[in-house]
Structure 1
Amino acid sequence: AHKQKKTKKKRAWASGQLSTDVTASEMGLKSLSSNSIFDPDYIKELVNDIRKFSHMLLYLKEAIFSDCFKEVIHIRLEELLRVLKSIMNKHQNLNSVDLQNAAEMLTAKVKAVNFTEVNEENKNDVFQEVFSSIETLAFTFGNILTNFLMGDVGNDSLLRLPVSRETKSFENVSVESVDSSSEKGNFSPLELDNVLLKNTDSIELALSYAKTWSKYTKNIVSWVEKKLNLELESTRNMVKLAEATRTNIGVQEFMPLQSLFTNALLNDIESSHLLQQTIAALQANKFVQPLLGRKNEMEKQRKEIKELWKQEQNKMLEAENALKKAKLLCMQRQDEYEKAKSSMFRAEEEHLSSSGALAKNLNKQLEKKRRLEEEALQKVEEASELYKVCVTNVEERRNDLENTKREILTQLRTLVFQCDLTLKAVTVNLFNMQHLQAASLADSLQSLCDSAKLYDPGQEYSEFVKATNSTEEDKVDGNVNKHLNSSQTSEFGPANSLEDVVRLPDSSNKIEEDRCSNSADITGPSFIRSWTFGMFSDSESTGGSSESRSLDSESISPGDFHRKLPRTPSSGTMSSADDLDEREPSSPSETGPNSLGTFKKTLMSKAALTHKFRKLRSPTKCRDCEGIVVFQGVECEECLLVCHRKCLENLVIICGHQKLPGKIQLFGAEFTQVAKKEPDGIPFILKICASEIENRALCLQGIYRVCGNKIKTEKLCQALENGMHLVDISEFSSHDICDVLKLYLRQLPEPFILFRL
């Protein structure tokens, strides 16, 4: 009671001292506020800061008087120093050396306390110097504030902006915010544990919260997984739909907003691919896996903690049961001793009143009862010792249980904080990635909307009418050229080979020879339509039917039309590509004007015009579609290229006037393996594609971003492996060429910048 009175007196003294300081400060500030020189907002802010400092001092003293935990006292001291530093930085007139020294002294006194030796008896003596330092700090702060309010410090400094300045007394204090956790209503970690320790069911409550957290996380993960699966399936269907729609509208020309919808479909495909990558990342290490791992760890540790707590409780229960048994035994031994003692007392009385022979018998009984009394007394002492041991064991078990309880609460709190941190991180990842996805989609849609507003209705229809007019003019020019060429051919007699059909007589010989040597430089009128991928659908690029064809928007005009080939006799009857030097001379029937009448309606590409074809009778493999040639096959006399007759329209391999080498593995092969076959050490695919891109695609927007046609890209890759340098890529789309270049670089086993670098 005496100690409690002293404690109450000290608390009352501290509260009165601090309240006196605050009251004096407020009175001085009220008197200053009447002066128009001082800003009322500044005065109000200064009052709030002083009250905050006073509250921090009271909180520190309360922590010392009540809990006396080292961590709690250090936390409160750090909060006090943080508030004091904020006040000194904000109000430079209150920043003085005396106040810094007082704060340093308080910090040193608190750090010098040995908390392991503190108990209820010596608490006041141990913290006497700390209390004195707190009072000194409060007194110094009050004096400096009083001097400032009385005008001893220049008032003009109040109007200056506060200058942030580090002081030596706060070098090791981390400042995150001025407001303390106590003022916000939040508990520090140690305070959380102390609050739970006062509850008898604290462990059960904490374990129940951990179990609920696991169930909550399981539901969140289940929702995200199901949502991601649905979105993944939707993106796959979206890609299929966009690809099919893009193929269908690509064969139609002069349609309004065609390029805009093509870009929209490409954006859908690209956004679907990005969404698939996002989904894969969220399913892997961005959301699902980290959260599931943290949930499993929570469940594992929760079960271990529950089992440990159960074992400790069982031990405590055993100790309490042993104590109860020892107490009952002690009481029983005490009763037995009392009975033996009472019997001994009666025997002594009888012995004193008896004499003679009867006395001898009483002596024997007296000795026997005395011996029984001593044995009962000894049992009482043993029972008392056992009871004391049980009491000691119960106290030890109770202390161990409290320590275990504190450790378990700390472990559960740390575990919950870690789980919350993981949940926060993955949640940020989830919504951030979804935001980026939605933002990119919104930007692309806005761009398409702005482009659609710029379209002039009827523009494509006008282009269609112009193209139709130019087509009629081309037909008239084609008929005139056909008449002239047929008349020139009749002057020189019938042609002896397909080369005579391809070449123009006399003045046209030089032009056609240049066309054979460089198919990309053909300038004169041709009997046969120029080769292009745009003149047949994607399904026909692998050797299918050529009944329905479409025009490529980049390389063909509406004026192109079909022209017929003059009949040309064959110059050989090779049956395979291996016996070219052993062929028999042509028979008169094969060199006649009707020997190759089957080529009359065959359409040939520009690359096919460079070959000298003849009939093929032996089955072999087509170099264009890589199918087996059984019937309707042709073979070049010079390079021995073999292909279907229907593939002549799509052929892209130029004649090299020597035997065509076999197919090579280009994509996925080592860079050095392809480069060593070139004189300059550069793979031919890089030179061909780069040269074509530099010639006609440097100013094309999105050259590497926009994807080309998948079927055309695959055909060009196949042709490059079959024909190497002899492939004519001038008629391919720029995006197709870029796709092939990117595919080659992507499939290199080791990139240009080596892994070891």
Structure 2
Amino acid sequence: MSNMIKVVEGEEGETVWVSYKELERNGEEEWGEEDADLAMCRSESGVELALQYAKMWCRYAKDLLTWLDKRISLEQEYAKNITKAAETAKSCVTQQDMMPLQYIYTMAMEQDIKTSATAKHTTELLHQRCYQALSAKRNEIDKWRREFKEQWAKEQKRMNDAVAALKRARQQYLQRCEELEKAKAISAKGLEEAGGSKTLDKRRKSRDDAQTKVADAEALYRQCVFDANAHQDELEKVKEKIIVHIRKLICQGDTVLKEVGFKSFKTFEHLDKQFFSQWRYLFQCPKCSSLLHYNGSFCKVRTASRAALTHRLRKMKSKMVKCKQCENFILVNGIECEECGLAVHRKCLELCQTECDHRRGNLFGVEFSLLPREQPQDVPFIVQCCTGEIESRALTVQGVYRVSGSKPRILKLCHAFETQKDQVDLAEVSPHDVTSVLKYFFKELPEPLLTFDLYNDFINIGKEIQRLSEKDHVAETAQIVENIVINIKQLLARLPPCNYSTVRHMMGHLHRISENFEENKMSPGNLGIVFGPTLLRPLVSGDVSMIALLESSYQAMLVEFMITNHDQIFGPAPRACTPPPPVPTAPLPETPPRASCPAAQEGSDSLDGSGASTREHDESELFSFLSLAICCLILLSWTRRNLEGLNT
């Protein structure tokens, strides 16, 4: 029973035990749509399960449609309000001349109007291409589900009526047989008693009537059996038809869901990028964002500190609250964070050092290629810190990478990595906390280390490794291992450079962990089970089906194979270089003078030339800076004269 798994089917919880070998045979390439339909047809409640899943799918699609419709409505309402506010403000601002930064703010309002118009048009297209498509497919599936439900109920009623008629005919046939036996017994008894002829004729006639009734009951029973078998065959055909049709409808619906999700997410991303791009352009506008003209004097605009930029600030609504920075009560000019509730004066933003508690970090959950590193192919510092700490003092710790750490300590360590980067001190941290942080880092990646586009190829290699474990011939096994190593190398070469270097680093680290198996009890197989789903996962992994269970075993086998054959796949680990020779204590012999070669002269000339070019470059930069300063002074004096003329 240990090599079996339990599958629960139907609403009544019917239990079916399936062996792993049968599951693996079904999960190979032979497991297709026909096999799935056959498995559902074999189940007594297959149609009910299919109809129930179709109903759940329709309810799920309805919830998604509600969210999508509300999101589109909010986007359109937001664009409408932004347009209205921008047009009103623009009409007022353009009537006032000689105001500071008037052109910048007018341009921002025009950009708001354009962005809102584009957003409105985009949301209308989103409603037509996504909402209506998903709604139509949902209505189609629900319509067919209702029709199939009625058809299945009618067929079941016919089958139940046929079974009931069969039971009645059988009961009648048995009753007629009993009456015939009684009539035969009475007739035989009359012959023995030698009664009158009339009595004998009467008993003989009763026996003949009983035989006739038995024959009629038998004919009726045979007809009912034939009808029941015919209804059973028809019921099986209808069952197969309903299951196949529902499966096709669900597959079509899943395809529509995928397309709708891709288009809607792309659309919302485009809207967000378009909104933030205009403000980034205005923020990067030189000079105008740093200086304001007020009453003939120039004052610097207050800039928020780096910690203050992590908050979502708004005008403070509450009254009489203490400022978190200066500890004075806020009477006017107060702002607060929408997420963490931090309240400060506007003038205190420059000195604020409290970061938002709810802000998203730049380490966990960030795209792998965007992580901070010196070179694009470098391993992230968190991976280097964690693996280095484990190799320095936890190679022999029992259950390393298998035992989880404390959740509060893990969260605290994650926050430390976010804020302190590679300056985190791990000397006093539990090894299990360090390994849990490393696993959490890989799990939070939007795309796993072994990327989504290569998932099916890696799973196919995992299947080859599974078949390899069943081979007995050593020569054939060696050839298969060599082929698998070549295939893995080709797949790893298709990874981005940063992913490849990190995979190589992790496999070498896990290989060194497995070398201490006797102490830490973590063999390559155990490490594969831990890191298989972490380093390799499908694009959509929400369902826990039989195929998903199989693929998890293939993931573990793949990682185990890469750990075991690390040297063949990635090459031997880099060794320490040869130490330099000792410094000689005896005086060295004098070296005879050499004739100067043309190459050396050319080198000296090139150095002189490079120095001259550097000096020329510095002089040109100084000249450009002085020119810019002179232009600024001229512009300031011209502006002051114009303002004095207006005042007079």
State the TM bucket, normalised to the shorter chain. Answer: 0.3 to 0.5
TM-score, structure 1 normalization? 0.36
Instruction: Decide which structure has the larger Cα Rg and report it.
Output: 1
TM-score, structure 2 normalization? 0.41
Greater RCO, CA 8 A, separation 6+: 2
